[in-house]
Amino acid sequence: MNVGIIGNRRYRPLADLLARLASEAPALGARLCYEPPIAELVPGLQRCSLDDAELDVLLSLGGDGTMLRGARIGCQRGIPILGVNLGHLGFLSAAGPDNAVEAVRRLVRGQYVVETRLAVMARVGDAPEALAINDVVIHKGGIARVIRLAVAVDGEQVGTYAADGIIVATPTGSTAYSMSAGGPIVVPTVDALVVTPICPHTLAVRPLVVPATATVAIRVLDPAPAPEELLVSLDGQGTAHLAPRQVVTVVRAAQPVLLAHLSDESFFSRLRRKLAWGDVAERTA
């Protein structure tokens, strides 16, 4: 089995974990293919490049940001990704550094389950589309003031929002920035998108849940003093400047994200374990 490895070099355990995986991989029947930024951390071994190899699965070594970056790669290639959490929350991850070797063993043996997640494509004006797993966010990058945004769904005007910005989130992203902004938590099997305003300057505007088949279009109505003050962010990573009155269009991606898990833990169980969901008396120290 060809296993692609991506990672974040900022995490201190990464180098030791890479060496451990490289040592165990031949006996497990796994051929490890590394992305260039981390390949140099595995010296003296014959290795293949992630960019050139025909991969069966991806392994993400890092935090939630690394997992999202890997999920976009996996989505584009149509292969599942399994996360090994080296960070803090690791909401999407299925393993930790202590059981990373066992995770690879189970991947090779096919002892895992795959969960299908919705992804979106975003287009700014006439620019090429870009993929997002969690969310597409239109927000300010400069001075502290509200911006006016016109939101339309399938060509029908929803309304004008005066806010710090707008989040269009997938069910996967509903537990991220959208949740912090007051949006609902959406079970991953629900086929929907969430449109969540960021700090709206009115009591009448609330998060909106629309079908996943909908086209969400957002246009900035106010002219901005400088173009760098309006930004579009995808998964909190890729960012582009947004010109005044330019339209951002968000649609469902043709290919889903395939998340690999080592157990059949439910979404609600993960909420309780990772986000301390539930009554305070149920939480453990």
Helix intervals (H) in 181-250: none
Distance (Å, rounded) from C-alpha 214 to C-alpha 140?
25
Query: What pLDDT, on a 0 to 100 scale, did the predictor assign at position 227?
Result: 52
What is the total count of domains within the chain? Answer: 2
Question: From the centroid of its chain, how far is CA 281?
Answer: 31
51 is catalytic: no
Please report, rounded to a whole number, the percentage of residues in the chain having pLDDT higher than 90.
Answer: 61
Do 9 and 103 sit in the same domain of this protein? yes
Do 78 and 152 sit in the same domain of this protein? no
Which position among 64, 135, 164, 235 bears the catalytic label?
64
Q: Looking at residue 101, what DSSP letter applies? A: H
Mean pLDDT of the chain: 89
pTM equals 0.90
Please report, rounded to a whole number, the percentage of residues in the chain having pLDDT higher than 70.
Answer: 93
- Residues 119-140 have a mean pLDDT of 93
CA distances from 153 to 26, 215, 218 (A): 51, 6, 9
Query: What pLDDT, on a 0 to 100 scale, did the predictor assign at position 284?
Result: 53
- Residues 158-178 have a mean pLDDT of 95
Considering only CA atoms, which of 63, 49, 82 is closest in space to residue 13? 63
Do 21 and 101 sit in the same domain of this protein? yes
| CATH code of the domain in which 198 resides | 2.60.200.30
- Residues 195-222 have a mean pLDDT of 93
Do 132 and 244 sit in the same domain of this protein? yes
Q: How confident is the model at residue 46 (pLDDT cuts 50, 70, 90)?
A: low
Do 174 and 159 sit in the same domain of this protein? yes
Do 143 and 103 sit in the same domain of this protein? no
Two structure tokens written together for 239: 């960012």
Do 128 and 8 sit in the same domain of this protein? no
- Residues 190-215 have a mean pLDDT of 94
In this structure, the chain runs to a length of: 285
Do 138 and 98 sit in the same domain of this protein? no
* Domain ranges, residue 70: 2-117+256-282
